[in-house]
Chains A and B, each alone.
Chain A
Amino acid sequence: MIVVPCPSCGPRNSSDLRNAGEVVPRPDPDTATLTEWRSYLYLRENPASWVTETWYCRNGCRRYFTIERNTATNEIRESDTT
């Protein structure tokens, strides 16, 4: 079980939330090429270590927030970018 700290609802079981995957910087819509958009859509670093990722508090406050999680151990720490 992974316990995810929601900023509004407190610690919740991960099954109450939805993991929206690692944070990928969004390209600038004014200058982005098709290749950049598709890389943004599909390509992931998928590391076996710390990753900044987005969670959606599906069954609670319905807020999107980011945390850092170590994908090798599932250890979680607060993200600076929240």
Chain B
Amino acid sequence: MSRHGYRYSAGSLIRHGLTRGEWPRMWSKPERRSTYDVVIVGGGLHGLATAYYLAKNHGMTNVAVVDKGYLGAGGSGRNTAIVRSNYLTPEGVAFYDRSLHLYNNMATDLNLNVMLSKRGHLTLAHTDSALRTMNWRAEVNKLLDIDSSVIGPKEVKRLTPSLDVSPDTRYPILGALYHPPGGIVRHDAVVWGYARAAAYLGVHLLQGTEVLDITCTGGDGPQGKGPGGRVTGIHTSRGDINSPVVVNCTAGWASLISNMAGIPLAITTHPLQAAVTEPCKVFLPTVVVSGSLHVYVSQTDRGELVFGASVDPVGTYRLNGTLEFTEELAGHVLELMPGISKMRLMRQWSGLCDMTPDYSPIMGFTPVEGYFVDVGWGTYGFKAGPVAGETMAETIANGCTAELIAPFSIDRFTDGDLVGEKGAAAVGH
């Protein structure tokens, strides 16, 4: 036994192999209490990480994570699992670099192999203006001690031989922003790791529990909701829960939950589609991103190529795949790597992204006392999961905004102080 309940190790693997005994469950199904100190809405990476750091760093264990489905059902299990910290604004770089640091130590911290592969991350430039942005990003990154530099087409070809770097293509590769610490992680393992560690520390994971309303008192709006009010609990499909603190970690559904507290958000929900090919021999050693061609690609340890794109242009909560996406994706990927034209797509899926106008998240306090948000995670929520959990836990436990997330406050929209991260956070622009 360890502080995670049951310790995974080579020894335990051999023991189970010999005895064929049952593995203990990663987390138990707890009896719901009527009152918690903190209720976190959304059982994805952000919600679970917040619960874990509340328990681990601040000793707050009377915490519940509620989810209408199962853990990791939303964006946490649908993203393309890329981690990096080569952002554009100093605020963004400092924040995401802390996340990368937490990913580095995660397997040891959570006693679960999250299969972190720091294989190097290439952001391709196909135009002079893109190259200029890459140089800008590289200089901001270097100032903040991030390993990041602009390289030419020859170096790109050396790192990733399957890319077509000839000048005759429609969108020739003029160079790339190279970020060696970037890479991929197994996203399900990250979710399970946090869930298991949080549950062992005493956090209640309440799956299949849909939040129907947030109860407030003293606010300006109807039923005591809205600015100036205070949270008293939540009303769920399985009964009421009292809590002075409710945290919104619901990504694509963030507006629906926030409207329940009378706090409208600067968010629109868009689906983002991704696809995966049949497995083949490993040939792609880096993560390749192209902003101009709206695509990013990496090869998993199983040999499948995972593709992601930009968000769909029409905001919706419907998770349908479209033929336009597949067509555009295939065209653009073959532009980069003509050699894979015979590969077949195995499946495609989509996830919901909560897009903000400035491509930065909305985190921390709100005008309703006890109602916290960790939303607006758009297309970059997975790589930020650990640091978002850590800083949200710090903010909730200490009652003051953690330094790293101060720029991402909800007030920035009324103060007009936006953090423009579009140039580095998304491929669709």
A residues with a Cβ closer than 8 A to B are 1-2, 14-15, 18-19, 21, 34-35, 38-39, 41-48, 71-74
Contacts and interface: CB of A to CB of B under 8 A. Distances in A.
B317 A72 contact: yes
B266 A43 contact: yes
Contacts, number: 65
B265 interface: yes
21 contacts: A1-B323, A14-B314, A15-B324, A18-B313, A19-B315, A21-B268, A38-B413, A39-B414, A42-B266, A42-B357, A42-B413, A43-B265, A46-B265, A46-B269, A47-B255, A47-B259, A48-B269, A71-B318, A72-B317, A72-B318, A73-B318
A15 to B, nearest CB: 6
Contact of A19 (B255, B314, B416): B314
Interface in B173-230: none
Interface of B: 253, 255-256, 259, 264-269, 313-318, 320, 322-324, 357, 413-414, 416
Contacts of B266: 42-44
Most buried by B among A21, A39, A48: A48
B324 A71 contact: no
B314 A2 contact: yes
Given A19-B315, A21-B315, A47-B255, A35 B267 contact: no
B402 to A, nearest CB: 24
A18 B312 CA distance: 11
Contacts of B264: 39, 43-45
Contacts of B267: 44, 46
Contacts of A74: 316, 318, 320
The 10 closest A-B pairs by CB, nearest first: A46-B255, A42-B266, A48-B317, A42-B413, A43-B264, A19-B314, A71-B316, A72-B317, A35-B414, A71-B317
Contacts of B269: 46, 48, 71
A75 to B, nearest CB: 10
Contacts of A2: 314
Nearest to A53: B315
Contacts of A42: 266, 357, 413
A48 B266 CA distance: 15
B256 A48 contact: yes
Contacts of A72: 316-318
Nearest to B266: A42
Most buried by A among B264, B317, B323: B317
Contacts of A1: 322-324
Contacts of A48: 253, 256, 269, 317
A38 B357 CA distance: 12
Contacts of B324: 1, 15
A72 to B, nearest CB: 5
Contacts of A18: 313
A1 B259 CA distance: 29
A46 B268 contact: yes
Contacts of B317: 48, 71-72
Given A1-B322, A44-B266, A71-B315, A38 B414 contact: yes
B255 A45 contact: yes
A38 B416 contact: yes
B292 to A, nearest CB: 19
Contacts of B256: 46-48
A45 to B, nearest CB: 6
A29 B86 CA distance: 41
A48 B268 CA distance: 11
Nearest to A55: B314
A15 B323 CA distance: 11
B213 to A, nearest CB: 15
Contacts of A34: 416
A18 B314 CA distance: 8
B265 A44 contact: yes
A15 B416 CA distance: 32
A45 B322 CA distance: 26
A15 B256 CA distance: 27
Given A15-B324, A21-B268, A46 B414 contact: no
Contacts of A43: 264-266, 413
Contacts of A46: 255-256, 265, 267-269, 315
Contacts of B320: 74
